[in-house]
Amino acid sequence: MGAGTGDKARGRMDEAKGKVKEKAGEVTRDPDLEAEGEVQQAKGRGKQAWGNVKEAGQKAKEALDPD
């Protein structure tokens, strides 16, 4: 598994769970659950971004030191 791949996968999972919570909150008219879903989505996007940063760092390292 490449650098950042796990973070990106976990981020996508958090984002998907957050979307489900947000929609459940909308349907049940539960603003707390809806907000929790929005926060979890943001957390997921952050994890994905961190995975992208790690991946870019790995690519830069490989470009400088191809061994």
Q: pLDDT averaged over consecutive 10-residue blocks of the chain (67 residues)?
A: 85 96 97 97 96 92 82
pLDDT of residue 29: 97
pLDDT of residue 1: 64
pTM here? 0.82
CB atoms within 10 A of CB 2: 11
pLDDT of residue 2: 77
Through-space distance between the first and last CA atoms of the chain, rounded to whole angstroms: 18
pLDDT of residue 62: 87
The DSSP code for 4 is T
pLDDT of residue 67: 66
